[in-house]
Chains A and B, each alone.
Chain A
């Protein structure tokens, strides 16, 4: 599997990363090197191996349904949330008008 110059440009655009035309030239072979390496991994027969989802044996932890249980992961911190926003007005984030 390999990608074309157009495909790399499209992936960049989906990720909203601005890539110069000249950078595409060296990115295409970089992408293809990575893909080739992953393809090489695919040559190993893993049909009898359980997929590994974590390096150490552990399970997904679940949380109780309690509001603001931990101040670090709760709400009610609007000023902190908005502090880094380029524009914040009336308690909202302000972003360039996006309408479809």
Chain B
């Protein structure tokens, strides 16, 4: 249970949050027409006669959009409805020339599911928490209006009109901005793993309607909620909740009442303002779309959807900590983004193969390299680094040499720097640039003998019990070897000789 509270003049308030996330389905063509969905085209270049609602046009659903929504439903372990239906949601606005949005009110494709947000003590989520998802339905996106291009007109671009959306509706199970933020991040992660939405919030591929209400701590009745529309980043979702909850508390404590209404979030000020009073559901005059028969899915289709699901974030994280023996932190960082785990798994496979050990034996080394060493070098190089040079083979080769003790951690970084700048082969770099550590016991023994001879007094003290002096001998030996001696070999030889 979150302990997020708002301190009011009359006591403590808690917040109840539900989110409706609109996620654009990854598909080449639109939901009911074959016009392209690609982002950034010339205005109205990707509009079919269907999208423009020309008379006599009939919508035909895109199988891929249905498939992606079903796979998403399966990823949140939701009930998949083999029988669903499209309804018309009537409203009059220039962004949708049909005069109605084809959506699913009465019989959605996906029913009740859930996802788990991960415990994060720092932000006030003491333990993993299940957030229930009420439904996912498929619907058409609307076009874009531009209001600032002409003094008296709005310009309409219908390229986005008819692109498939999944509306993912949570239950009001979140009780703090941090939980809502964690929910959006987890949902985005699942969508990107599944590949049903690119999760690009800046381009509007994912946006949230945020439902917020407040109540006195201990009350069981829900307060009246407001809905803040189209919030397009995790940070803004959290800001909108913070502001809206505080505003509601202020209104109620000043003797006012909360009106159920739609509000707009202003990212510049972090505040919300009233948009329009929410028409009661009746005003949309929903009814089954007579142009579309019910959507009936067979077992083969569902089986195909299930079989195509990848390993999902929670399972992957569990496997990383369990099978691979990674720390919780490393597992969490590596599994957060699709690109991160893909790079890690490629490098892990290449490294394990190169060294000839099972993946679990090299996983921690590869994880540390992927999360901290390599990014550090790349960051320090800035523009000089060409990431394209950092292939999995080259990085695996560096890790291989390091694992065999041929190069030190410092040398690994130096070699990686040269790889990033020049794209050369790491083994060749190690040879040509003299970036190898000496494991040859002869050379090291020679250096140690000289140091022992020159520091007879310190040798006496060490043998007399001053253990700390061991570090001094290591330092002297490394210095004599110009930093290129294998520390493990140095330690071992020193122990033998100092006795």
Contacts and interface: CB of A to CB of B under 8 A. Distances in A.
Interface of A: 11, 14-16, 53-54, 58-70, 72-78, 80-82, 87, 89-100
B64 A75 contact: no
A69 B66 CA distance: 18
B43 A97 contact: no
Of listed A15, A93, A98, residue having the most chain B CB within 10 A: A93
B155 interface: yes
B293 A76 contact: no
Given A61-B60, A73-B34, A93 B295 contact: no
Given A65-B27, A78-B45, A98 B295 contact: no
Given A59-B296, A60-B293, A75-B36, A65 B42 contact: no
Given A14-B283, A60-B294, A96 B43 contact: no
Contacts of A87: 153
A94 B295 CA distance: 36
B34 A63 contact: yes
A82 B49 CA distance: 11
Contacts of B90: 14-15
Nearest to A60: B293
A14 B92 contact: yes
A67 B158 CA distance: 16
A68 B34 contact: yes
Contact of A99 (B61, B64, B154, B155): B154
Contacts of A94: 150, 153-156
Interface in B20-77: 27-29, 33-36, 42-52, 57, 60-66
Nearest to A69: B34
Contacts of A99: 147, 154
B220 interface: no
A65 B46 contact: no
A63 B61 contact: yes
Contacts of A75: 33-36, 45-48, 51
Contact of A91 (B34, B43, B61, B294): B43
Contacts of B155: 89-90, 92-95
Contacts of A53: 293-294
A58 B296 CA distance: 11
Contacts of B264: 100
B414 to A, nearest CB: 49
B292 A60 contact: yes
A93 B158 contact: yes
Nearest to A62: B63
B290 to A, nearest CB: 10
Given A66-B29, A66-B34, A98-B145, 8 more contacts: A14-B283, A60-B293, A63-B61, A65-B63, A67-B28, A89-B153, A92-B43, A92-B156
